[in-house]
Each structure stands twice: as C-alpha cells, then as structure tokens.
Structure 1
Amino acid sequence: MIEAMKDQIPAINSRFSGLSSKLIITIIGVIMLVEIVIYLPSLASFRTTWLEDRLRVGIVAARVLDAVPDVMALPRELTDRLLLSAGADAIVYRREGQSQLIELTEPVTPERAVTADLRQRDLPSQIAGALDTLLAGPGRTLRIVGEGDMNESLLELLMPEEPLRREMIDYSRSIVLVSLGIAAVTAFALYMLVSTLFIDPVLRLTANMLAFRKAPENGALILNPSLRRDEIGILERELAAMESELFAMLRQRRHLADLGLAVAKINHDLRNTLTAAQLLSDQVATLDDPKVQRLAPRLVMTLDKAIGFAQSVLDYGREAAKPPQFTPIPLRALVEDAGFEARVTNNPLIAFDNLVPEDFQIVGDAGQIGRLLVNLLKNAREALETVPGEGQDRLISVTAEAQAENAVISVIDNGPGLPPRARENLFVAFEGSVRSGGTGLGLAIAREIAEAHGGRLELGETATGTRFDITLPLQQTIA
C-alpha cells in the first residue's frame, strides 16, 4: 500500500532527492573537511622529508670536503657529480668560522630565492612553507638551510624549487583521489545505514501523510505503525492515532451533517405547523370562555417558545463561516444599536447603562461584533426577566477599557447568575442553555465570532449576576 502511495508522489519516492541528497552532500562535505585538516600537516611533512633528503646528500658532499686536505682542490668532475646527486646548483658548508663553496661549472644566478630553514620544526611554519611552495609559480630558487653532522656546522643548498613543487602537486593529487574514494565509500556506507534507520521511515511517513490528506475518509490509508521504540516509532504511533481520530471525526461529522439536513427539513415543516397552531391559538384567545381565557396565554407562550426554538435551529444551520472584514468601529454607538436590537434600551423593566467612552474604538467586523453584543445583551435581558417581583432594580451595563494590546468589553447584569450545571457546557451549542427551552446557540455563536477576530469570550467574575468579558486585539489588519 505504501509503495502505491509512493508511486503517486514521485518527487518523494526518489532516493537521491530531498533529505537523501542533503545527507550525502553533508557526509561528503564533512569527510572532505576532515581530509583537508589532515592534508595540510601531511603535505608539510612530505615537503620537510623531501628537503631533509636533499640536505643529507649535501652532508655527504660536506664529508667529502672534510676528507680532502686544505691544500688540495676537489676535481671539477667530482664536485659536479656531488651537486647533481643532490639536485643542487651550489652547496655552502660552514664550520668553525670557515665557509666552503661547491658550485657547478657554469654557476646559476638566481632571480628569485626563497629560504627553507630546516631548523624551524614548528608545524605552522612547515604548513606555511608547504603552501607557499605549492602556490608559487615556476622559476624560483630554493635555499635549503640545515645543520650538518658535526657540531656547529651549517649547510646550505641552492637548487630549483620546481622539482619539489611538481612532486608536491603529484602528492596532492594522490591525496585528493584517495580522499574522494574514502569519502565516497564512507558516504555510501553511512547513507545506507542512515537511510535504513531514518530516511526510509521518513519517506514512508511523508507518503502516508500526503496520501491520507487526499482521502482522509479512506480507512485503508491509516498508517500501520512499526514496533520501534525511538522517536520515529513514537511519531508513527502518534500519526496513526491522529489519522484514526480524524477518520472517526470526519465520518461522525458526515453523519451529523446528513442528520442536520434531515432535522432542518423537519424543523422547517414543524415551524410552519407551529405557526398555523399559533394563529389558531390567537383566535381561541378571543373566546369568552373563562377556561379558555385561563389556558390560552400558556398555550400562546408555549407555541412562541417552540417557534423560537425552531427558528434558532434554522438560523444556526444556515450560519456561514465568513471571515471578518476589519474596519475601525466606534464602540459606543455599536453598543447602543445592539441594546436597541436586544430590546434592553428603553425597556420599562430593565435599566441599561452604556459606559463605553465616546472616543473608544476597536477594529473588527461591525456586523459580527454587533451580533455578538446582541446575543449577550439578549441573554442578560432574558435572565433579568426571570427575576420575580416588581420594582426590582434590574440593571445591564456595558464597559470597555484598553489593557496592554487588547480591548476588554464587559457585559454585566445583576440577575440570578448561572447555575453550576450551565457553566460546564456554557459555550456548547444545544447544551449551554441556561433557561428552559433554550438552544444555547447564542453563546456558541458569540464565542465563534470572538475567536474569528483573534480574541476570546470568557465568563468573568462578579459578586452578583453574570459577567461576560470579550477580549479583542486593538490592532488588526484592515482590508
């Protein structure tokens, strides 16, 4: 099954693409860096050995000079042979304050000379000298300085630098070829190991996620986790659990959607029937029979509740998730309009205080924020209408203040408050209703609107009654 999913996404199925190619490049790069770190001391050691070999030949020539009495001169053929064996143009031997020179029959005058002092044994100097020789152009003369085989003796050789440079280039070429071979073999071995342990499982997870995203209702695409106990195994099990939950959730939502469509149709017909029953009850209420006059108000109130419930369900089903259109909103005027629509303004039973400052502004969708306020004010009015007795001080107030980067709008009433049962499912549709016969849709819709604006709706703390706090960001992007 996974192989079939990989065939649908060839970009991920390629072994040498994505993480695989990055892994190979990284391994080769690290190995080459290590080789470079090793190469520089190795090149310096090669150059030092080459110079020491030439110096040893010069020491042999110096011994020959020591063996010849001072009154005698070495034959020219012998001196030339000594110089040719050392590859030098001249040899200078210094001992006890005296200097002896051996040079070719046709002496060479150096144009550019560079000194290689073998008495300096520190690694940085040797590396610097090796790089200087390797990067220098042809035509330079090398002056090799080193100690002889006798106390306080000094030997100098003058020779062309080009032979040393050629051998160093050949040596470097060999090192590069060997390094590339080692890097290739090591990278391949590490890649196969890492690929088996990590890359292949990641490819499997990626292929599964892409395939499941295209068909989340296909239960056959739910990942079958392995028995690994490391992070990859945890990821596989968590992904399998998430896909299983998502599969069940989507199936449940599809069933709920189908059921909701059926309920909406039934509810629509029921509303029409209830409306007809309401018309009949209005006619019955006009009869003079005392029993009818006593029972008719209850019948009318019951039908009104049933019609309101049906209408709320239909409105919630038709609710469209439109993103907010952010514009500056004068909040005080919006609260006044919401109070009028919720029938709390000029209500003979309820006092309404709009305590929002005149210049207080928020940024949001005026229609949606207005609906949020209407729902909260309507709930507050209905809660106060249940307070028994006449002449009671029933008050609804709305305040607003800026706190840090947020605007906090509070809708407060001094009603009976919320029972503990209602607090548990306060913002859950069809479950968060406080009053009998309510749908609980008002608070659910209000919370959705607040969250769509990047804010939140919470039940606040108050000594008496109920308080809802709306927290909205003061700064939003205005389209």
Structure 2
Amino acid sequence: MTAEPRFLPGRFSGLSIKLIATIIAVIFAVEIVVFLPSIANYRASWLDDRLRVGVVAARVLDAVPDVMAIPRNLTDRLLNSAGADAIVYRREGQSQLIELADAQTPTVAVTADMRLRDPMTLIAGAIDTLLGGGGRTLRIVGEGDLNSSLVELLMSERPLRRDVFAYSRDFFLISLIIAAITAVTLYVLVSRLFIRPVRRLTENMLAYRQAPENASLIIIPSQRRDEIGIVERELGAMEQDLFSMLRQRRHLADLGLAVAKINHDLRNTLTSAQLLSDQVATLDDPEVQRLAPRLVTTLDKAIGFAQSVLDYGRESAAPPVPGPVDLRSLIEDAAFDARLVGHPSIAFSNGAPERLRINVDAAQLARVFVNLLKNAREALEAVTAPVAAPAVRVEVSRSDAGLTIAVLDNGPGLPPRARANLFVAFEGSARAGGTGLGLAIAREQVEAHGGQLQWIEQPAGTRFEVTLPASTVLA
C-alpha cells in the first residue's frame, strides 16, 4: 500500500514563527505590566515639579504683607515659571489667589490630588491623562511647606499630556528594541537546541514513511544525552526493527507462496497416490493386504496435513458477519460434519436448548465447533486402552458474563506437550502427525466475535469452553 504523502509545515505555520510570536507577545505583556507603574511615576514626578514651583510662589505670597499689592509682572513671572494659569494658597482658613491677566474660566477640569500616592490612584490618573482629551484644565492639589497649608495650581493639561505621550513613545521604542534582541537571541538558542532537531526528526519520519524498506533513511542518532537524544535513539531503533520486520515479512511472504505452491502440487500427487493405493488394496496378495491399510493411513495423514496448511494460508482476515442462528441446529450440523452423528462406537449428546438463537457468523462459528468435535472424536478413536462408553457431549450455560458452550469428551485428555503449546500453530497438536492449526484458527474466530476459547483442566477427559458475550444472545 502506497503511503499518503506528507509535507512539512510552511514558513509561517511552523514552530519557528510560533516561537518568535510567542516570545514577542510575552515580552510585550511584561513591558505593559512594567509600563503602567512607570508612566504613573513619571506623571507623578511631572506634577510634583509643578507643585514645587507653586510652593515657591506660595512663599512669595506669604512673605508679602497683606496691605501691599503684588506687582503684576512678579505674579506673571511666578505663574509662567510654574506653567500655571492660577495659583491658590490656603493657610489657616485663608486663601490667596494669583492668576494671569488673560486667564480664562475653565470649562472642563480634572483634579490631580498629589496627597493620594497609592499605586492604583497614580496608574488610574496616568491612564486618564493618556485617554482624556488635551483641552481640559488640570487642577493640581498638594501640601505646602507649612502645617495645614495647601497649594493648588490651575493649568492646561496639554503640556502634561504631550510629555506623557513622549515618554510613552520612548518607552515603546526601547521595549521594541529589547523585544527584538531578546526574541532573536532566544530564537537562535531554541532553534539550535530544539527546532532544528525536531525538524530533523520530522523530515526523517516523513521520508522513512514513504520508503520504510530503504535502510539509508534510518536516522543516525546524535550524541545528545537529553530528551531529544533519547527520541533520536529510540526512533533509530524503531526504524531498524521496522526495517528488519518488513524484510522478514517479505521473505516469509515469498517463502509462504513457494510453500503453498509446493503444498498444492504435493496434495495433488498424494491424491493420485491415494487412488492408486485404493486400487492396490483390492488385490488378493496377502502381503499387499497386510501393507495396504498402513499405506492408506499414511497417505491420508499426508493429504490432511497438506490440506490444513493450505486452509491456514487461505484463512481470511475479514471480520465476522453476524446473523441470527439457531445454536442447537448449528451444533448438530457441526457434529455431522465432524462424523460424530451415527458414529458406531462414540455417543454424541447435544445439550443446546431448543430455540436458543444467537447473533454470530454461522460459517465461522460452525468451523470452530467442527474442529472441537472432530478433535474429541479423534482423541477417543486413538485411545490404546479401552474407554467405557466413549462419549462426546455439548453443554450450554448462561450467566451475566455471557453464553458458555462447552465441548467435553471422556477420553484420555491432552498430553503435556499439547497443553504447553495449546493454540500455537504447528505446535499444539494433541495427536501424532497433526499440525495444531485447527485450534489456532478456532481461537482467532472466537476472539473475532468478542469471546474466548479456553481449555479447562479436569481430572479426566478434555473440556473446551467457548464463551460468547451476552450481547450475542437473541433469545
């Protein structure tokens, strides 16, 4: 079967671009977390500078006697140095105001109370400055240099907003440079340590999947001792095992084809020899009459062995096709095919209940019971010591686990060699000349139905149990 082609991801969909994007996103997220308190501190410092100028102006106001008027040029210079339109100085319940001559009455004002220095208030004020319009009037409130004194500055918010934006722009550019340098450095490092080895592994797996029998595509592990090195070594070992397995499978397939052809020709030859032996058996020569039965038996065994090998080679891997089947009739037909019905010396008992229907593949399950019943018959026929009332019977029982169908005989039981290799093809035969294929095939067919085929040890005789799931029972 030809493997479907696979391709590596593109330049903008692989690990590299995802890694760079992730690094930059994380750096910017960190920078945002750092930016908020930084811009808040910058805004607070800017406001504190203006407030200190206001405190100096308040000292001047406090130093001038109340009976004297402050010259206009002095007040304008104080206000221009603070960048304010007006300064209010409050002390001991009294207020003093100086303002520019052309000062306008503010329409929209926002208060910055520098007595509140908690981080959340500072951050909220910085965000408000960035997002708010530049046409508002800023009211800065702070403590004076004397007890219980307050200083207020009224000024346009535009200078603060302009400086805050300039600081934010510089911060962003520096952050971008740091993010780029960090991303490139981490990318180069991670690319050498992870991306390139992973890409090498991916390319190897894609190439090897297309041609698993090409030994030159088996990956050569590096000398790394970390997880990547372990993956490389395990992948190389797996590809080595897969290469050997595929090579062995091809050899076995070729050998099996040759054996099947030889076996087919051998079976035809043995069949012809059997016909000749049947004719020889009709001769009146005493020596021929003595040797003919042994020749016929030997030829029958050889033909049976050849046929069983051919049947095993033709065994289909198709799943069973379930359908409603009467269990008693199925066992009765299997007993007939196994030559138990009407046997001159072996009694057969069918213990399946009447009208018990199961949902199974009739052909496959019939083959299972033909094999089990045939094995029981041959075991009783091959006994050397006489068995009292030789019999084969089938017992059926139901439980919550499912339906159990047991095939029993009162023969000598299984020999130790057969018990040790039960259900193993070519090794699990209980009789001389057998192949052991029957039980191996029967177990595969029972397991394909979701059931189990087991040999149950008992003091005398042989007992095999076929257990089918409860879902197979129809009535």
1:430-479 deviations in Å (ceiling 9; x for gaps): 233332222222233234335555x464535443423345465949xxxx
Q: Given the superposition, is the C-alpha separation of residues 149 and 467 from structure 1 closer, same or farther in structure 2, using an over 3 Å criterion?
A: farther
Which one of the candidate residues 210, 226, 232 is aligned to 1:230?
A: 226
TM-score normalized by the length of structure 1: 0.85
The 2-side partners of 1:73 and 1:474 are apart by 109
Deviation at 1:33, TM superposition (A): 1.7
Deviation at 1:423, TM superposition (A): 4.0
State, as a whole percentage, how many aligned pairs show the same letter.
66
The 1-side partners of 2:150 and 2:197 are apart by 68
1:327-476 equivalence runs, <5 A: 337-343=333-339, 349-355=346-352, 361-362=358-359, 365-387=361-383, 388-390=385-387, 391-403=389-401, 407=402, 409-414=404-409, 415-452=411-448, 455=450, 457=452, 459=454, 461-464=456-459, 465-470=462-467, 474=471
The 1-side partners of 2:331 and 2:82 are apart by 104
1:35-434 equivalence runs, <5 A: 35-325=31-321, 337-343=333-339, 349-355=346-352, 361-362=358-359, 365-387=361-383, 388-390=385-387, 391-403=389-401, 407=402, 409-414=404-409, 415-434=411-430
1:24-44 deviations in Å (ceiling 9; x for gaps): 222222222211211111121
Deviation at 1:338, TM superposition (A): 4.5
**8 Å Cα contact 2:372/2:407 also seen in 1:** no
**8 Å Cα contact 1:460/1:469 also seen in 2:** no
Deviation at 1:342, TM superposition (A): 4.3
**8 Å Cα contact 2:140/2:154 also seen in 1:** yes
Partner amino acid for 1:238? Answer: E
Structure 2: gaps of 5 or more residues: none
Deviation at 1:216, TM superposition (A): 1.3
Deviation at 1:271, TM superposition (A): 0.5
Deviation at 1:190, TM superposition (A): 1.1
**8 Å Cα contact 2:90/2:149 also seen in 1:** yes
Deviation at 1:300, TM superposition (A): 2.2
Deviation at 1:126, TM superposition (A): 1.6
Structure 1: gaps of 5 or more residues: 1-7
Determine the structure 2 residue equivalent to 1:28.
24
SS in 2 for 1:11: coil
**8 Å Cα contact 1:79/1:104 also seen in 2:** yes
1:19-77 deviations in Å (ceiling 9; x for gaps): 22222222222222211211111121111111111211211211111121111222233
Deviation at 1:89, TM superposition (A): 2.5
Partner amino acid for 1:276? Answer: S
Q: Given the superposition, is the C-alpha separation of residues 57 and 238 from structure 1 closer, same or farther in structure 2, using an over 3 Å criterion?
A: same
Q: Given the superposition, is the C-alpha separation of residues 293 and 221 from structure 1 closer, same or farther in structure 2, using an over 3 Å criterion?
A: same
Aligned length, in residue pairs: 462
Q: Given the superposition, is the C-alpha separation of residues 177 and 94 from structure 1 closer, same or farther in structure 2, using an over 3 Å criterion?
A: same
- What root-mean-square deviation, in Å, do the aligned CA atoms of Structure 1 and Structure 2 show? 3.0
1:262-301 deviations in Å (ceiling 9; x for gaps): 1111111111111111112222333344444443333222
